[in-house]
Amino acid sequence: MGTFFSEPGWLCLTVTAVLGGTILCKLKTSPGQVGRKVVCLAGLWGGACLISLSLFWGLVLFSLSYFVMYTYFSGQELLPVDQKAVLITGCDSGFGHGLAKYLDELGFTVFAGVLDEQGSGAEELRRTCSKHLSVLQLNITNTQEIQEAYSKVKEKVQNKGLWAVINNAGVLGLPTDGELIPMTEYKRCMAVNFFGAVEVTKAFLPLLRKSKGRLVNISSMAGGVPMQKMAAYGSSKAALIMFSSILRQELSKWGVKVSVIQPGGFKTNISGTSQMWETLERTVLDNLSPEVQEDYGQDYILSERSLLRLMKTCTDPDISPVLLDVRHAISAQSPFAFYAPGKLSYPWLCFASFSPTGIFDYLSRKIYSYGKKMPRVLSTSNWENEAM
């Protein structure tokens, strides 16, 4: 008790309060969700210090931890925009469309790659954005279009180089059991979500190296958390994360910084339209062998559409956390390697990484089986006896 009211004790308490207040002020002005995990970790560390040590030394270590955090956040100051040029893929709708508008408003020179330059999304960008935004026809699975886009960007940026490439374009496919997903869907997800991003990156890296700029790849929480029904999509996004992690190390010698965004559940157009769902369902049914179709049953396969409806109704329509994290990734002096915007994205990623596999699988089964249909054979009462 006497130690706490001694001058060193009061000094440590004062330093902790001042540093803590300064850090909280910095967090309020920092874009996105960059500080939440740091504050949580600092709180746990400080609590452990106070519990395990004497009050005086606990406050000393607690103050030091806040000092380290203060130094860390000093590297999060945002660089001036200064009309830096950025390329974004998949700007027809969703994250890409929102990013193009947002970065244009901030004063960036934006090259908005779209799948259809005559589509409504492209027309809206031309109508609502400034003269610093250019719409580019850019199907990232088309090598010729990638090369043409590169030539146009290089001609415009000239010696300044390209400050950032944001690989956002992606497809979801029909969420269903991995056994039921046709190989064409596996290949389509890999072609767009992985190979397309890799080819765009390789094409534009000379411009990024010239500017010592940023590479930002939009992955997904599904790339780090094993999610049932997402075998094709999740695998392609996991491949993108590994590619990004390796390039982060390789490109550091060039001064290029690489970040991965792993958003949680946000409402975008990636889930597609009812017409697209019907086409995908028919593709699934047409590619199943009679044995597999008999075991699962057509009712089970068609019921998978309910997951897409759930995605449309239960996801967050406010994509601003993603926009803010991307801004931090391309503007901060020391951007993070990974961002997890979304209410449950970061906790789920941590849980999937650190929890025992048995516990994670048990909870996953409980979540995905709630209110869901079972395959036809599994729903029969005598299936287990027949299997034995």
Active site residues: 233
**Cβ-based neighbour number of residue 289 at 10 Å:** 8
Query: What is the three-class DSSP state of 131?
Result: coil
Place of tokens 């803590």: 20
Residue with tokens 């650190």: 354
Q: How many CB atoms within 10 Å of residue 203?
A: 18
Residue pair 302/308 in contact by the 8 Å Cβ criterion: no
**Helical segments of 82-230, H only:** 94-106, 120-128, 143-157, 183-189, 197-211
Tell me the two tokens of residue 317. Answer: 């329509």
Identify residue 246 by its one-letter amino acid code. I
The answer to whether 46 and 27 have CB atoms below 8 angstroms apart is no
Task: Write 14-19 long-range contacts (CB < 8 A, 24+).
Answer: 15/63, 15/66, 15/67, 16/59, 16/62, 16/63, 16/66, 19/63, 19/66, 19/67, 19/69, 19/70
